[in-house]
Each structure stands twice: as C-alpha cells, then as structure tokens.
Structure 1
Amino acid sequence: MTSSSIQTLFDSQKNKATALRSAPISERKAQLSKLKRWILDNKSRIYEALYQDLHKPQLEADISEIFPVMAEISHTLQHLSEWTRERRVSSGLTYIGTQGKIKYEPKGRCLIIAPWNYPFQLTVGPLVSCLAAGNTAILKPSENTPTTSRLISEMVRELFDPSWVTVVEGAIDETQTLLSLPFDHIFFTGSTPVGKIVMAAAAKHLTSVTLELGGKSPVIIDESANVDDAAKKIIWGRFTNNGQTCIAPDYLFVHHTQLKNFLASAKKHIRKLFDPSSVGMRQSSGYARIVNPRHTQRIIDLMESALQEGAKIAIGGTYDLESRFIEPTLLVDIPADASIWKEEIFGPVMPIQSYDSLENVIEHIRANDKPLSLYLFSKDRRTQERVTQETTAGSMVINDVVLQYAHPNLPFGGVNQSGIGKAHGHYGFLEFTNQKSVLKQRVGFTNAMLFYPPIGNFKKKVLDFMTRYF
C-alpha cells in the first residue's frame, strides 16, 4: 500500500474512534461474537493457511492458534460488563465531601503489529482486547507468513467496516509508514531489536506501547526433580512449532546427577511426541517447519558455530535447508563464551549445561537480560521459593512450561528487554484502556480551602497534624 492510502485508512478511523467512546458495550460484544463465529466456521481455512506457511499440524494449530483466541473471546464476553463498569474509590478523611471514581474509556486508534511464529493467534488475540476496550484497529500481520496474512485480511473485510478494523499487508515500508502515524496505542509482538524501533517511533508522538518481546528463557532441573516428567514437558514446549515460540525453553541447566537420565528421557519423548508413527522426523506429519530459508540458515549457522567452538550433539543434529527442516537437537559441552548462550535461538536447537551449584545458575540468570519466562523443575519447596525470590522474569512456571501463556487470570508480558506491558484477559483490556480519574467536589466550603493562602499558625498546625497522622 502507498503512504497516502495508509494515511487515508488512518484518517477514516478518527470519527469511528470518537463514536465508540459513547457506544453501548453491547456493540463490542456483538463484534466479538461475530469474530468467534467466523473462526468456528472457517477452521479449515485457518488450518490450510498455517500449513502453507509453517507446515503446522492441524492439532497443533488447534491448540496453539485457534483455542487461545477462542478462549480469549469467551473469557472477555463473560467479564466485559464487569471490566467496563465505573469503579468508585474511597475518598478518605483528606477528601471528605468529594466523590472519586475511575472511568474506563477507549484509547482510540490502535495499531497491532503481529509476528510470524503464531501468525493467526498473535494477530487476532490482541485484537480481542482492542475491541473489548472500544477502540479501532489497524492490523499489520507479518509478511513472512503471507497465506495467513491474506486470510486475516479476508476475515477482517468480511466482518468489519474499515473505519473500525482494517488490515495493512506489506513489509518494512508499510510498517514504517504506519509507525510514523500518531496512533493512540501500539501493540507490538516480535523481537527485542525491532521492539526498540517501535518504541522509538512511538516516542515521537508519546504513544503508549505494549511490547511483547522475547529473549532467552532458562530452565532449571534440580536434583529433586522428576526427570522423566520434566523431559516430556520441556521437549513438548521446546519443539512445538519447531521451537519458534517466544516463551519456549531456550536453554537448560540440569543438575549433574540428572543429566544422563534427562537425555535418555528426552530422546524417548521426541519420538513419542513428534514422530509417533516412527516414520522418521523428516517425514513426520506432526513436526512443523522453520518459517523460511533465511531463518533456517540462521539457526543452522548458530548450531554449527557452537559445534566449531567445542559443543557436542547429544540428540539430533541433521537438517535440510531446502525443506526448512532441522531435527530436534540437544547440545552439550558448550563453551561458556559460545554465541549460542547469547542469542535467542528461536528454533529446534537447545543447549544444555550441567551444574553443581544452584548459586552459579542464579548468578548466570541475573547477569543476563531479564527473560520473558523462567522455568524450574524441582520438588524442593525451599528451592522453589529461592529461585522465585532471587530471579526476575516476566513469568515463572514451576514443574511445567509454556502453560502460563493461556491462563485467563494471569498477566502475560516481559520485563525490560523481554517486554513492556501485559496482555490477555483483564490485563489486555487495561492495556488498550485509559483509566480516567474523575473527582467530583461539592459546591461551597471544602477541606481544601483550609490551605488556601494566607497560611497562619492555625493552618500550619492543622497541616502538621495531617502530615503526621493522616
């Protein structure tokens, strides 16, 4: 699209955004219900698009793309009336005679920039929160998943007037044009480097942002853990969607007494979960692919670099660039200064480090950027409390992985390098909402007049008393 046509789309949403401020909540619910019905009626189209772009198995598409959006819509419809209700607040002794309340109003025109790894869910999920809050939206799906992007564009045209929701397809030029516009809120999901670009562009207009970024999410398996249980969960969380998940376990610290058994269990569960028919991982219909050759080559280079630096392949290691295939791979004996410890892998390769001292593991985590998620497998309550207390992450899960993302009552988001703001459920609604404070004062004499000038001794004594005891 040209810059002028994008500007026209943006301008066309101004009046609608204003009208939505006073529209009944039932209008928002009606749009969300229409969206839910469309998804149910067009699941086959979603399956096909995701298969074309990512070779994503149908069951995986259901679990990771369709179900989270449907659950988000259902949860929102159930609670939206409650979320939008004005909330009265206590005035306290200092503000006797006043009435205070919080009014939840739409921010206005919003931009949602989505990534390619979960192209349907990470476009439509934020849209649910945006619509629930009463905003308009321009969606920018990823050009790296063109089939799904076209499907989203078709869906939006079928469901919404462009003045309410519309889609801008394209690549860098279109994104840069969108970022130059004075949106009222930007919701971006993607890498940390691009997130910095988005935030810099938003700063020019003082636009609020939600940045759902990534980073290296560590896993700790201590000596008390059920290692087979841990291996099954980690293998599922890591290699689903071919490792292209922002909250996937990125690297493992395994207590040295557990390493041998972990590798044996991991090998077993890779086959059971992703090649259940034993036809070979390359032929398996249950294993997705990397999104494109460029990202495939990046992951291969990262793995080969680690091997050249002294790492060893414990499991897997084969790949084929042309078919975008990389076998589930576990690496061990990796030098501490290897680049694979520093870069987010975002693919089906997982480095493992055995450890003796939990203190050293905690120090490593604290010395690096705060992760989007942190996972601990331990049956020891003191270890659970220590890791929770002594580390920082956007989310933490004990004895499982990834599941926190879809929890309806937990906020999802990162810290610093791994993200700004929260998403999902009530927290996603609040991201797209201005929480406006409204104070109503009585007419005539008020407490505040006690402190109008001139200030004499009596007023000073009253102020001193209030400062000490109120």
Structure 2
Amino acid sequence: MTPQAGLRDHFASGATWPLEGRLEALRRLDAALTGHEDALLQALHDDLGKPEFEAYSSEILPVRQEIRHAIRHLPRWAAPRRVATSWFHWPARAALSMQPRGAVLVLSPWNYPVQLSLSPLVGALAAGNTVLLKPSEFAPATAAALQAMLEEALDPGLVQVMQGDAALAAALVAEHWDHIFFTGSGAVGRRVAEAAARTLTSCTLELGGCNPCVVDGSADIGLAAKRIAWGKFLNAGQTCIAPNHVLVHESRFEALVAALKARLTEFYGADGQGLQRLAHPAHFARVAALLGQGEVLHGGAADAARLHIQPTLLAASAPPEQEIFGPILPIIPWREGAALLDGLAAAPAPLAVYAHSRDRALLAALRQRTRSGAFVVNDHVVQATVADLPFGGVGPSGQGRSHGQAGFEAFSNPRAEFRQSPRIDLPMRYPPYEGKLAWVKRLMG
C-alpha cells in the first residue's frame, strides 16, 4: 500500500473527524516537541548552524504556541456557524460547517525546517485531515529528526513523512490530493500550482518577495536600525518576511548606515563571524553573486568553504529586482514621497511592507498605495507570531492564508448547509407567476 493510499483509507474510516481525536493528536505532537527538543536543536545546528536560542525561539516555540492556540480554540473553530436567512427562506435554517478536506500534502522548505513543517501540520490535524509531509532535502538532519519524532508520536495512518529530492516532490504534486500546502520560492510555487491545476487540487502557496522597508525623516534612527538589523539578519537573512532592502530618506541615509554598522558589530562581532552560515553551496553561490550589486558599506567578505557571508550593507541606487534571501541589505536613498509611493505601488506585491515613521500621512499613503500580505509599522517579522493574524502573500508572494484560525480554515472545506421544513411550503416561488412579481418587488424593496 502506498503512503497516499494509507492516508486515504484512514481518512475514509472516519477516524479523523471526532473533535477529541484531533485534540489528542495535537497534544501528542506538543509532547513530542518536548521529548525530541534536543534532537531537533542539534539537527538545526547541523543543517544550518543555528544558535540554540534562535533555533528554539524561531522554530520550536512558535510551533508550540500554534499547537496550544489550536487546542484552546478548536471547539469554536470547528462548531457549525449559524447563518441568517431572509423571509423568502422561512422557516428554513442555514449554517456553515467546516469539513476536513481529506488527504493533504505539505511541502516544507529548508530555511525554517521545523517551524514550516509543523505549523501547517498543526492546521491540517486541527481540521481533521491526514497528512503526507515532504521536508526539504537541503535540511537532511532536520528531516530525519522530524520523521523519527512523528513516527513515534502519531498514527502512520494520520501522518506520513517521505524524504527525497525535487524529483520526489514533482512526483507527489502530480498525484491527486485534497489540498497542497507549499512553502518555498516563487519559481517552484508556479510549478506546484501548475501540477495542482491538472488535478483541480486546491493550494496554499507561501512564497516570498522583495519586502521593502521605508525609513523617513521622522523615524527614530537608533531604534529603527536595531530592529532592521535584527529582522534582516535573523537566520542569516534566510527569512521570507525579512526586510529585503531599505528605502531611507536622503537626509537620514548616513545616520542610518552608521547606526546599522554599530548594531551589526554589536550583534555579530567586528568580523561578522557571529552570524550563522548559509544553508547549502548553491544558495551560497547565488547570494554571494549579489555582493557586486552596490557599493559595500559594511562587511562584504564571503567564505565558500564555510558557506559564510558577513552581514553586509550595500549602497544602491534602485531596489533589487529579486529577493535576496541572505545577509545582504541594500540601502537606497529617496527624496520625494510621491516618487517613493509610485515605485512601491508599481512593484510586485511582497509578503510584507515595513515602515519606520511617525508621519501619519505617509503611513496612511503607504497603507493605501501598496499591496502586501502584511503592513508593519516600526518593527519586523514579529507580526508572524501573532496567533490570530493570518499569514500569507498576494499574487507573486503567495495565495491563501495560514496560522491560527486561518490555518484551520485553509485545510477545511466550508460546507453550506440548508434545512427546510417539510411542513410549510410557501407558494410564492412556484409557477404560474402571474401577479406575483409586484409582491416580490414590494417585499424585497
């Protein structure tokens, strides 16, 4: 029996539908995170060189919070929701019930291989699905640790893990699933969407984008620099919602650069060696090639043998056309607000638009003129840790939403239910219609 067949059979048995069974699966996953914490932290260090604090706070803790949030709110999320009806439907009742989709596929990336594997798993299990998880081959130690943990904690009919490369992923998305959840690059996301379209399979796509960060003349430069440096260089810049580049008013350019240099030295040392390495050689080569796209203001050294690039600041004249996804931050000065807004409005919609400002008019204009999955003022990245804020992109940065109730709904089929009484049957809707239209217009207004 194939893993997919086993998942479908388990779902067809009805075992995933009862609420208590879903809650028990979530509790077992929570306990497994505690029991396998050391193994997961070691795997994250082996694959990505993650410091223990960052590995725990950005990988394990968010999943644990997601699980506990789901356990607390699942009875309400899963309960049928009454829907109002009009006089024409009397005495009928309408409701919306959230059904599990069935057997679903989760394809997770290498940059946050624990969080971005288990967070969608939480939503899928809460919604009552069975799941095949295919972790990234570029984080092999973490993939093995996840497989060991999930095989120990959960029924194999409920969750299966398959390890493999891009060929396995292509084979999996070519099969028919009841939903596909993909996190990764836009290029691969397009291929996933194309394959899913051939089987009419719904998708959630969490992609990326060139997230801009606007800094104007009213910003607190010291605080802005601290938060930009943290958000950008967390995980060596390998974060889909990291600020991709900074657009700073020309009057604050030098002050911001000086403050960023000071923060990067404080965070990672004068030589930048406190920053973790990049994930794998192909990714290192792609990011290192971007070092020549501006004047190096800070850092700039790259060590291919160690897959390490210093935290780097570049002076640039225009925003980069591609997502950097690494420890390089272009800084671009701007003069006129109108030109700034026109450029942002014309750019592809990113996962997030960031702004450091106290100018309410500018913030209102940025909010209105830009499109993105999130709009964040005076901070970075932490919007993704708010349990009830849906996470996702727009257009090229993704489709669909996850986290909290949005994640539960992504893996659910909202089924419309309508119940009419067999005892009362209003004659208005039946032919012949002579003389009825005037009454309908009068009643409907």
TM-score normalised to structure 1 length: 0.92
Q: Tell me whether 1:301 sits opposite 2:289 in the alignment.
A: yes
Task: Say whether residues 1:281 and 2:286 are aligned partners.
Answer: no
Distance 2:81 2:14 in 1: 20
Deviation at 1:21, TM superposition (A): 6.7
Cα 1:281–1:335 shift into 2, 3 Å: closer
Which of the residues 422, 426, 446 maps onto 2:401? 422
Q: 1:452: which partner in 2? A: 430
Q: How far apart are 1:94 and its partner, in Å?
A: 2.6
User: Shift of residue 464 of structure 1?
Assistant: 2.6
Aligned length: 445
CA RMSD of aligned residues (A): 1.4
Q: Give the Cα–Cα distance (whole angstroms) in 2 for the partners of residues 289 and 450 of structure 1.
A: 72
Distance 2:5 2:443 in 1: 51
Distance 1:78 1:17 in 2: 24
3-state SS of paired residue (1:249)? coil
Distance 1:466 1:167 in 2: 58
Matches of 2:238 and 2:22, distance apart in 1: 33
Q: How far off is 1:445 after superposition?
A: 4.2
Task: Letter of the 1:150 partner, please give it.
Answer: A
Q: Distance in 2 between matches of 1:120 and 1:142?
A: 10
Moved more, 122-131 or 365-374: 365-374
Equivalent runs, 1:359-398 vs 2, <5 Å: 359-398=338-377
Equivalent position to 1:292, from 266, 280, 289? 280
Letter in 1 for 2:340: V
Equivalence for 2:390: 411
Counterpart Cα distance in 1 of 2:16 and 2:94:
21
CA distance in 1, matches of 2:58, 2:88: 51
The 5 A counterparts of 1:215-294 are 215-275=209-269, 280-282=271-273, 284=274, 287-294=275-282
Equivalent residue runs for 1:59-458 within 5 Å:
59-275=53-269, 280-282=271-273, 284=274, 287-304=275-292, 306=293, 311-332=294-315, 334-336=316-318, 341-447=320-426, 449-456=427-434, 458=435
Give the distance between the partners of 1:436 and 1:175, measured in 2 at CA. Answer: 30
How much has 1:262 moved relative to structure 2? 0.6
Classify 1:21/1:45 alpha carbon distance in 2 versus 1 (closer, same or farther; 3 Å). closer
Residues 20 and 134 of structure 1 are in contact (CA less than 8 Å); yes or no, is this contact kept in structure 2? no
CA contact (8 A) 2:317 2:333 kept: no
SS of residue paired to 1:118: coil
AA aligned opposite 2:383: Q
Structure 2 gaps of 5+ residues are none
Percent identity for Structure 1 against Structure 2:
37
Amino acid at match of 2:350: P
Q: Deviations over 1:16-45 (max 9, x none)?
A: 112347742111111111111111122111
Instruction: State the Cα deviation string for residues 435-467 of structure 1 (Å, max 9, x = none).
Output: 1110001114434x41222221x1121233245
Contact 1:72–1:424 at 8 Å: present in 2 too?
yes
Amino acid across the alignment from 1:289? R
Q: Secondary structure at the match of 2:87?
A: coil
> For the Cα contact (< 8 Å) 1:21–1:105, is it kept in 2?
no
In structure 1, C-alpha distance between the alignment counterparts of 2:266 and 2:16, rounded to whole Å: 54
Q: What does the per-residue CA deviation read over 1:408-427, in whole Å, with 9 as the maximum and x for residues that have no partner? A: 11111000100100000000
Measured in 1, the distance between the counterparts of 2:373 and 2:135 equals 24
- Partner SS state of residue 98, structure 2: strand
**Aligned-partner Cα distance in 2 for 1:194–1:22:** 31
Give the TM-score, by structure 2 length. 0.97
What is the identity, as a one-letter code, of the residue corresponding to 1:443? P
What amino acid sits opposite 2:345 in the alignment?
R
Cα drift, residue 281 of structure 1:
2.2
Alpha carbons 1:237, 1:248 under 8 Å: kept = yes
- Kept in 2, the 8 Å contact 1:20–1:135? The answer is no
**Contact 2:373-2:391 within 8 A present in 1 as well:** yes
CA offset digits 1:151-189 (Å, max 9, x no partner):
111111111222110011001221111111110000000
- Report the Cα distance in structure 2 between the residues aligned to 1:272 and 1:430, rounded to whole angstroms: 42
How far apart in 1 are the matches of 2:276 and 2:440?
68
Gaps of 5+ in 1: none
User: 2:153, 2:312 → 1: CA distance?
Assistant: 43
